[in-house]
Amino acid sequence: MTSRITCDVDDATPVTVVRVAGGLDLTTTRQVYAVLERCLAAQPDALVVDLTGLTVHDQLAVAVFAAAARRAEGWPVVPLVICAPHPHPAASLATSTAVRVVPVRHDCDEAARVADASAVPRMRVRLEPVAAACRRARELVADACARWDLPAAVEPASVVLSELVGNVVRHAGTPMQVTVTLRRPWLHLTVVDGSPAAAEPGRPGEHDEGGRGLLLVRELAARWGSAPAGDGKAVWATLPAN
């Protein structure tokens, strides 16, 4: 018997709610994960996954929610909270070691409050693929670090974000959304562009307004990576927030 599942998305508020109903098994997890990934890519303040109408057919399948939470850690840094009021999905989640890192609440109003309280501060700007974008990215970092009292992070974060933006200018050539997010102990920097092509490290000794290739990002960031985002990609980096 094939399970059927639906995912109803409510993104009318800063906290997106996904209501998952039907049967969860190792086949339907693919659909659930795709919906959660798409919601995360929109960078809401937080994400609530409502499992009120869910029946768990395979215990291993609940790991999809932990996978989505891990997906959000590096980018887009969106807190994920699960609402599981019914005994069966709640018990399945409680006994799964895979999802113990994801907050679970039995009341959906409480889950929404937890998600809202977990929301992290962000500053965003939309930029065109022109040389001046690198300067604007550095200004965004300076403004964010001043607002969040992170004087030591200004210089390395400015270099890293300038390089990420410069990489879009040089290679993707599309408009971009630049985001600086604080989730202690890390400062997260993200550039989302309209090209699905993978970000490529530059060559040693390469000089331009964006820096010396993504080699600088490797040197200065604690972690960095790339992930699909809509029709394009997100390239992100994390640095210590100090």
3-class DSSP state for residue 47?
Answer: strand
Mean pLDDT of 8-29: 94
Is the pLDDT score of 120 beyond 60?
A: yes
Given pLDDT bands bounded at 50, 70 and 90, which one contains residue 141?
A: very high
pLDDT per position as a tens digit, 31-60: 999 999 999 988 898 999 999 999 999 988
* Boundaries of every domain in the chain: 5-118, 122-240
User: Under CATH, domain 5-118 is a member of which superfamily?
Assistant: STAS domain (3.30.750.24)
The pTM score is 0.80
pLDDT per position as a tens digit, 199-227: 755 554 444 444 356 788 989 999 998 88
Q: Please report the pLDDT score of residue 174 as a whole number.
A: 95
Neighbours of 196 (CB within 10 A): 12
CA distance 54 to 21: 4
> At 175, which helix (H) or strand (E)?
none
Is the pLDDT score of 145 beyond 90?
A: yes
Given pLDDT bands bounded at 50, 70 and 90, which one contains residue 230?
A: confident
Q: Tokens 């039995």 correspond to what residue?
A: 106
CA distance 52 to 29: 16
Domain 122-240 has CATH 3.30.565.10: yes
CA distance 71 to 97: 17
